[in-house]
Amino acid sequence: MQKETRYIIIIAAVFILLAVIAFFIGKKAGYAIKSDNENTLIKVF
């Protein structure tokens, strides 16, 4: 029982880590897209 719960906790921790990493990557990608859009707007004008 203890081994199983330990594995469940480890798996949950890994999923949380992946979610946090994905969130940060998404944020960075969002900023990159924003800056690119601003640059293209500036180039158009």
Task: Convert the pLDDT of each residue in 1-25 to its tens digit.
Answer: 688 999 999 999 999 999 999 888 8
Residue 2: predicted pLDDT: 84
Look up the pTM and report it: 0.55
- The angle subtended at Cα 38 by Cα 42 and Cα 23, nearest 5°, is 170
Instruction: Please state, in angstroms and rounded to a whole number, the distance separating the CA atoms of residues 22 and 41.
Output: 28
Radius of gyration, CA atoms only, the chain: 19
For the chain, how many structural domains are there in total?
Answer: 1
Give the residue numbers spanning the domain of 7: 1-45
